[in-house]
Amino acid sequence: MNVTIRKPKSPLDWLSVRLLYHRAFPASERKPFSMIRRMTRAGRTDLWIAEVEGHFAGLAATINGPEMILLDYLAVHEKHRDQGVGGAFLKGLLNLYEGKGLFVEIEDPSRDDESGIKARRKGFYLRNGLTDMGVTVMLFGVRMILMGRGCSLDFDGYRTFYRTNYNEWAAQHITPPEEN
C-alpha cells in the first residue's frame, strides 16, 4: 500500500482532519480540537495526514517529548479501512520518528466486550512492530495498557511524560490500575 504522509496545509486539510477526528473517536476520548491546533502551533503536537493516490485517508496526532513520542490518535477514513492503510501509516510514522521511542495507550483487551475491538486494536499494533510494555494504568478512569517501540516506561515515567509534555491536570488523572 502506497501511503503518503504529510502535515495539513490548507483549510480543506484541517476540515478533513477535524471531521474524521469527530467521527472516529467518541466524545469521551476527544480533546477539544482547538487544543490540538494550539499544541500543533506550539510544536508540542504533530498532526499528520495520510493520503492514498492524493486522497485524504487518515489522521494521526502525537504528543512530542524530547526522546519519546505518544501516538495520541490514529484513525483511517472509512473508505480506506481494511486495505492496509493503517499499517502503512503507522510504519511511516515510526520511520519519521526514527531515533525516538514511540508509544500508544490502548484500552486493556483483557476487559474486552463481545465485539473484540480492543483485542483487534492490540493485534494491529503488535503486527506493526509495537510490543506490550507491561504497563497498565488508569487514564481518566479507563484501564489502559501501553505499547511501544524503542522506549520503555513504568507508571512513574508515564506520568512524568504527561506532566512534562502535556500538562499537570492530565498527569493527575493517571492512577495505578484498579485490582480485579
Rounded to whole angstroms, what are the CA distances from 90 to 7, 121, 164, 165, 173?
15, 13, 25, 21, 27
d(C-alpha 88, C-alpha 3), whole Å:
6
Does 174 lie in the same domain as 123? yes
Whether residue 117 sits in one domain with residue 173: yes
Pairing between strand 101-107 and 68-76?
Answer: parallel
Tell me what pLDDT residue 28 has: 81
Write down the pLDDT at residue 180. 46
pTM of the model: 0.92
Q: Are residues 28 and 116 in the same domain?
A: no
Count the helix, strand and coil residues of the chain and give each as a percent rounded to the nearest 5.
Answer: 40, 30, 30
> Structural domain of residue 134, as residue ranges?
105-180
93 contacts: CB under 8 Å, gap ≥ 6: 5, 48, 60, 62, 71, 102
The cell for 25 is 473517536
Strand partners, 6: 49
How far apart, in whole angstroms, are the C-alpha atoms of residue 75 and residue 25?
A: 8
**3 and 87 both lie in a single domain:** yes
- Contact, 94 vs 130, CB < 8 A? no
Which residue in 5, 69, 8 sits closest to 37, CA to CA?
8
pLDDT at 116: 81
Domain shared by 157 and 119, yes or no: yes
Give per-residue pLDDT as tens, 84-121: 999 999 999 999 999 999 999 999 888 767 778 888 89
Report the mean per-residue pLDDT for the chain. Answer: 93
